[in-house]
Amino acid sequence: MERRKFLGLAAATGAAAGGAFTAAGCGTGTGTQSAALKVVAADYGEPGRGDSSQGYWDSLVRSFHNRHPGIAVDVEVYGWKDVDRKVAAMVAAGRPPDIAQIGAYADFAAKGLLYRAGELLSIPVQADFLPPLAEAGEVRRVQYGMPFVASTRLLFYNRTLFARAGLDPDAPPRTWDQLARAAERLKAKGVKIPYGLPLGPEEAPAEALMWMLSGGGAYTDKVGNYTIDAAANIKTFNWLRDRLVRPKLTNHDPGGTDRKELFDAFARGEVGMLNGHPTLMKQVRRSGVKYGTAVPPGADGPSGSTLGVADWVMAFKENGRREEAGRFLDFLFGERNHYGFADRYDLLPVTTSANDRMREGREHKPMRRFQDELMNAEFYPVGKVSWAKVSADVKRSIGKAVAPDTGPVGVLGAIQRRAEARDSEARAR
């Protein structure tokens, strides 16, 4: 793998970045160079709270320009509903950005549009990525996707509702059967949603994979073949339908319910249990709900692994800006800059240095369990070129697998057949 020479000024010496997450299409540029380095990024802010990610990028660009006055940078921030589509349209029009921070990279890498990480980053910066995340950024054993931030999932439960239902708030469920029994107790005490099951389009791939993992399954096997309709996954979805959905221990119509709706309901004290990521902690702290977290229950004990999710940075070759993009990316992933972003938004750092710094901070003690899970987390098969289309199919279809009047065999089997066809198409390119 080709590696760019180490650039001392750009590596791990960034000024601390302020941060924020929710705008759309705002840009900032500095410098005198006529062709600014074009960056498109996703917004992590909450609508209406004035915490757009644009503020983070503005601060980062100013700090970068102080050290590299010859490199102009222009950043546009879009909401998550638009950013992937915007970048895809730019690529289709032959005008890709120099750098994109979005949700997927494999299709662009397979088409030969991206620089390899080793062509961009200095050796110390590339080596600082947490190994599971670096590996998740590979296509055919070559890293093209650079992780930006990550999250894992844990079981969140309402301690007040547990106590009201006669459940021990210090002993959350460890098995599926314990979870079902706890949900029954919560329902008997009038809890509106004993277990929140978001299998609607927003969260379906994540919630489905968490349950697959807890039942010993996954989307793929160890060599990357799709296993969506494997016996373990069918057993898992049968259990969900028969033990949670049919007895009305979940939200109405899980296949039509998105994560945000259930997160909001949990923050209002209306949900007994659900799977959540670190940003839910901030939302719940604002509402004053007393909550606990635990490793998600498994079929026979705590789940052996949980879901890890990463967002990705990539650099396009079209404009030939490898050197400038590499300098900027080294600066972006410097400890202070990267930690500043993860810290502000209650997300997990993707580098060893920033991860260690977060672990040392007493104020981040609630994050440590998420950090522990990250090292053993299972990620989406994002290195598969077909995954983007398969994921879209999962979003549309997998909620039907737990509908009271349908069966997982037919639903998962249909998704599996379409996944195999898309995988064959991708390999034939």
Whether 3 is covered by a domain: the verdict is no
For residues 333 and 277, membership in a common domain is answered with no
For residues 282 and 315, membership in a common domain is answered with no
**What was the pLDDT predicted at 2?**
31
With H, G, I as helix, E, B as strand and everything else as coil, classify residue 219. Answer: coil
For residues 78 and 130, membership in a common domain is answered with yes
Tell me the pLDDT of the chain averaged across its residues: 90
Q: Where are the beta strands (DSSP E) in 135-230?
A: 138-139, 142-143, 146-152, 154-158, 193-196
Q: How far is CA 278 from CA 90, 153, 232, in A?
A: 32, 7, 28
For residues 105 and 169, membership in a common domain is answered with no
Of the candidates 369, 370, 363, the one whose C-alpha atom is nearest the C-alpha of residue 344 is 363
The residue from 379, 403, 419 where one domain ends is 379
**What was the pLDDT predicted at 168?**
98
Whether 1 is covered by a domain: the verdict is no
For residues 272 and 414, membership in a common domain is answered with yes
Phi-psi category of 156—alpha, beta or left, where left has phi over 0 and alpha has psi -120 to 50?
beta
The residue from 357, 379, 401 where one domain ends is 379
pLDDT bin (cut points 50, 70, 90) of residue 344 is confident
Would you say residue 15 has pLDDT above 50? Answer: no
Would you say residue 244 has pLDDT above 50? Answer: yes
Residue 209, CB half-sphere, CA atoms under 13 Å: how many? 25
Whether 2 is covered by a domain: the verdict is no
pLDDT bin (cut points 50, 70, 90) of residue 47 is low
Would you say residue 202 has pLDDT above 90? Answer: no
Whether 395 is covered by a domain: the verdict is yes
- Alpha carbons 399 and 388: distance in angstroms, whole number: 18
For residues 218 and 333, membership in a common domain is answered with no
For residues 281 and 313, membership in a common domain is answered with no
42-57: average pLDDT: 84
47-72: average pLDDT: 90
For residues 283 and 363, membership in a common domain is answered with no
pTM comes to 0.84
For residues 296 and 159, membership in a common domain is answered with yes
For residues 413 and 293, membership in a common domain is answered with yes
For residues 337 and 364, membership in a common domain is answered with yes
- Alpha carbons 264 and 260: distance in angstroms, whole number: 6
Whether 125 is covered by a domain: the verdict is yes
Whether 187 is covered by a domain: the verdict is yes
Phi, psi torsion values for 209, nearest 5 degrees: -65, -35
Whether 93 is covered by a domain: the verdict is yes
For residues 129 and 168, membership in a common domain is answered with no
Would you say residue 17 has pLDDT above 80? Answer: no
Give the rounded percent of residues in the chain with a pLDDT score beyond 90: 78
**What was the pLDDT predicted at 80?**
86
Whether 218 is covered by a domain: the verdict is yes
Could you give the number of structural domains in the chain? Answer: 2
Domain with residue 352: its CATH number is 3.40.190.10
Domain range spanning residue 118?
Answer: 8-151+309-379
- Alpha carbons 325 and 37: distance in angstroms, whole number: 7
Q: Where are the beta strands (DSSP E) in 90-230?
A: 99-102, 138-139, 142-143, 146-152, 154-158, 193-196
